[in-house]
Amino acid sequence: MTTGDSWRERRRALLGDDPAAAETAARLLEEMGTEERDDEEVEAEHRAGRLAAVRAYEPDARLDEELRLRLTGPDTEGGALRFQWGDALLNPVENALSAAAGIPVQLELTGISAGSTVVHARPVPSVVPPEPPAMDASATSAASTGMRTLTRVLGALEAEQDVREWSRLFDAVDTLARALAKYELDLGMTWYGADGDMRRAQLTQRGRRYVERLRETRPRDQEIIISGRITELRESGWVKVKTGTARNAPVYDVHFEEPEALLRMRPGLGDNVHFRVRFRQRLDAVGIARSVEYTYLGLAAGQSSLPLST
């Protein structure tokens, strides 16, 4: 971590042999004050400045996009990337970014630098030329759109906030969190956009533990009626019921906790049945159903046969 006033220190050193100049510089710097900024913030400001200068004579100029991944943990002091880390982590990062963007986004590795372990990557250019943007519309890449969403999700996880708004991303982020936990690694992300913007997020032990808690499920039960035709029977107490003759008609696997009850019914393939069942969903804290079960409770008394849909 460095500060944004390092140039001030260099200036002091250069004027060290001139007492009057050094005193003047010290007074000026004292009036200006200091500000704590890390290298990434300073670099982002420099990028934005370069882009503004170039756009003065080339209004459509854009910067190269870059994603930096900083891995920290017990085994990262050497500044090297272990092969097993790359195999386990890089693909989940790409998948999480793709899920956030809503379309596949491919990344390619451009370098590794020291400072824990810093991986430099960039989006792979699309082989299909994009359609010309509408007038006055900013050309935002899929990777940039995805990073905007992904950084918000990771920020919410680190703050242990409600993430149900991004439930469609949860499985991808969960996979990434599991990979990090396996190697006791924390992940820092810094995105440098084509328009000079910078976005940052991290997934540390706190965020990973929150993901783990969100992954825990709770049962939710309700009683429903399943009507249809038996298409499969198993002695272990399972009956497959198809609710229509159409190829894509819903099919339910109904479980008999006591297989003898199924045997006493003497059902046959093709028989029409009307079962009263317990429909159990196991929901995680994000609202995703992790499993569903249909357990036989009894016959639907007094219910007439329903015509099969076509």
User: Is 68 or 34 the better-scoring residue by pLDDT?
Assistant: 68
* Structure tokens, 99: 């899920």
Can you tell me the mean pLDDT for 134-154?
Answer: 79
Domain 218-299 CATH (choose: 2.40.50.140, 2.60.120.10, 1.10.1660.10, 3.30.70.580): 2.40.50.140
Chain Cα centroid distance, residue 156? 11
pLDDT at 64: 83
Q: What percent of the chain has pLDDT over 70?
A: 74
DSSP letter (8 states) at residue 165: G
| Cα 218 from Cα 280, distance rounded (Å) | 10
User: Is 120 or 127 the better-scoring residue by pLDDT?
Assistant: 120
Per-residue pLDDT band for 270 (boundaries 50, 70, 90) equals confident
pLDDT of 195 over the 80 cut: yes
pLDDT at 173: 96
Dihedral of CA atoms 94, 97, 99, 105 in degrees, nearest 10, equals -70
Q: Give which of 147, 215, 216 is closest to 177, Cα–Cα.
A: 215
* Structure tokens, 58: 């080339």
pTM of the full predicted structure?
A: 0.72
Cα separation values, 38 from 2, 4, 31, 44, Å: 5, 7, 22, 10
pLDDT at 127: 56
Indicate the pairing of strand 289-299 with strand 251-255: parallel
The residue extents of the domains of the chain are: 40-125+142-215, 218-299
Q: What is the DSSP string of 210-277?
A: HHHHHH-EEEEEEEEEEEEEEEEEETTTEEEEESBSSTT--EEEEE-SSHHHHHHH---TT-EEEEEE
